Amino acid sequence: MPRRVPGYERDTLIGPLHQPNPRSERWVPFFRDHRLLAMARAAEAEGALPAKLLIRIERLAERLADYLTEPRHPSLLHGDLWTGNVLVRGNRVAGFVDPAIYCGHPEIELAFTTLFGTFGATFFETYERLLPLDREFHDIRCALYKLYPTLVHVRCSALRISRRSSRPCRVSDCSVQKKEPARRSRAGLPCETSRTPKALPIRWALARPPILSLSS
């Protein structure tokens, strides 16, 4: 069996957006170049991200190796594990849909689930009884990894706005909308949704501590 490395045998989509998956030897450069920077630069080129924020993200990207770690071995990831892609029957998870698969660090998958409070504290307590997470994941790495899905939602929000309007999308129009599609209920799952705003303006989402201080 071939050794699993970050990336995938082909590119995939995350929502409607292209997701590059070149096979790479190390995880941190893969995340930096093909997740964080690729999505941020595409968002800036489309007018969805202010140039000043892109500069801060690029500065942060130069220092990612100081904060992120290499996995023991890359895992096959769903790639877009948020509430809308989790199917529930009764009080149990029945399945996952709309994958954006690739191989990478399992921590990014866990970070995705915290963006809209998909599973909540009970899930993490159970997970960590099997595979403990160190404090730096909760304090720093989770926030760093959430930059990627936040940028995805920034671009998707801008696309929705531009399709509804004949004028170009302005940065001030764009926000991350929290949606819970019908027939994808998470009823019965422990989830701390009360802490998640219904709309996350991009400056709120991309400029909160500790991320803001790390880009200085």
Write the CA distances from 58 to 49, 149, 188, integer angstroms.
Answer: 13, 17, 40
**Residue 134 falls in the annotated catalytic set:** no
Per CATH, the number for 12-214 is 3.90.1200.10
pLDDT tens digit string along 13-70?
999 999 999 999 999 999 999 999 999 999 999 999 999 999 999 999 999 999 999 9
Whether 195 has a pLDDT exceeding 80, the answer reads no
Sorted by where each begins, the domain ranges of the chain are 12-214
Give the percent of the chain with pLDDT over 70. Answer: 74
- The DSSP code for 169 is P
The residue to which tokens 């936040």 are assigned: 150
Q: What is the pTM of this model?
A: 0.77
User: What confidence tier does 115 reach under pLDDT thresholds 50, 70, 90?
Assistant: confident
Residue 133 gets the label, from left (phi > 0), alpha (psi -120 to 50) or beta, of beta
User: What confidence tier does 201 reach under pLDDT thresholds 50, 70, 90?
Assistant: very low
> Which has more pLDDT, 151 or 175?
151
Question: Cα separation of 15 and 17, whole Å?
Answer: 6
Which of the following is catalytic: 33, 80, 98, 134?
80
Q: Would you call 68 helix, strand, or coil by DSSP?
A: coil
